[in-house]
Amino acid sequence: MNKTTMSSLSAEPSYRSVAVEGNNLQTAPESGELSLVGSSAAIKRVRTQIERIAPHFRCALIRGDRGTGKKLVARLLHAKRGTAGGPFLQLDAEIVEACRRGNAAIGRYPEGSEQGTLFLDGVDRLSIPTQDCLLEMLGWDEADRRMKNAQLGIETRVIASTTEDLRALASAGRFRLALYQRLATVEITVPPLRERMEDIPELARHLVERVARLRGRSVLGIAEEAMMQLQKHCWPGNVRELCDVIQGGVVRSNSGFIEARHLVFARSTGTERLSADMDASVRLEDVVERHVFGVLKECGGNKLRAAEMLGISRSTLYRMLEAGGSEAVLR
């Protein structure tokens, strides 16, 4: 196979642009600095790890549920690495898979990443053959390749994200042990929102300010009843879901404040539906199947969004739909 350099990458142009992304990317326009919002002990531990690891790491693994902010942590590690130059390049698992399946083997390094940070998003979704390609791309398959990389002055720092326990996957033969050992030189676990509920008021106010500014809306804050609803929700979609709810609230608000009636939760009926299905005469497989189909309907058939809301990978959702008959979703 011909080896070609990945061209489907784009460098992050600047940290000075204001943006509110699904995983809670926050950029301070005045200082141009990224930050993790929250005062809980859980998020403080993550900030401490970032400060300690950033100047020295060569490889890092970020683990966390979907929507917790793994990409933000990766950007913080890059931004605080102590060097002014070097791009932040993101390579999604789906891009790597597509290139391998299209017989375009991955070259050793994506162009422009030699002095920057390469972020491998969702490595737990990679197939075994693609993991082998990745080992080759990074020059981790042979000692002489590592020596050659050093001679060429390649100083790429590699950050990978995962929603699953790679150690467990490696033990089960579903992930290359060599790749796991290289990536997990240092590991950061990003807590789910349910484990830092005390951060919700601060996060919500921050997001309201950002979204309102981004959309040109005059929204001053969140009404007390609305805030109580936010604090009662279980947030299966984590900070990404909170951001979606806040964005919807900002759009619907016409009173200067987000009120309870402006909040729409994607899984507002999920718990009730699951509880209603819990009958002694119903098989667990049937309960799970109906719940999955119900969430998929709520997401308008968007499988990626449904997988995020269910807290599972897209490949897992596909397997569940194949086993249960995905056509049932349309009925």
Which of 121, 107, 112 has the alpha carbon at shortest distance from 87?
112
Instruction: Give residue 300's pLDDT.
Output: 65
Instruction: Give residue 137's pLDDT.
Output: 75
Q: Where are the beta strands (DSSP E) in 47-104?
A: 59-63, 88-92
Tell me the domain boundaries of the chain: 3-189, 193-262, 270-330
Q: Does domain 270-330 have CATH number 1.25.40?
A: no
Residue 106 has pLDDT above 70, yes or no: no
| Each residue's pLDDT tens digit, 25-66 | 333 333 344 679 999 999 999 999 999 999 888 899 999 999
Alpha-helical runs (H) found in 23-87? 41-53, 70-79
> In b/e form, how buried is each residue of 251-290, taking b as 16+ CB within 10 angstroms?
eebeeebbbeebbebbbeebeeebeebeeeeeeeeebebb
| Each residue's pLDDT tens digit, 152-182 | 445 678 999 999 999 999 999 999 999 999 9
Q: Which residues pair with 117 in a beta bridge?
A: 88, 157
Residue 68 has pLDDT above 90, yes or no: yes
Fold for the domain defined by 193-262: Helicase, Ruva Protein; domain 3 (1.10.8)
Instruction: Give residue 81's pLDDT.
Output: 75
The answer to whether 23 and 64 are in contact (CB under 8 A) is no
Instruction: Give residue 190's pLDDT.
Output: 96
Entry pTM: 0.69
Give the separation between CA 284 and CA 330, rounded to whole angstroms: 22
Quick one: average pLDDT of 205-211? 93
Q: Which CATH architecture has domain 3-189?
A: 3-Layer(aba) Sandwich (3.40)
Reported as a pLDDT band with limits 50, 70 and 90, residue 24 is: very low
Instruction: Give residue 104's pLDDT.
Output: 53
Q: Which residues pair with 119 in a beta bridge?
A: 90, 159
Instruction: Give residue 209's pLDDT.
Output: 92
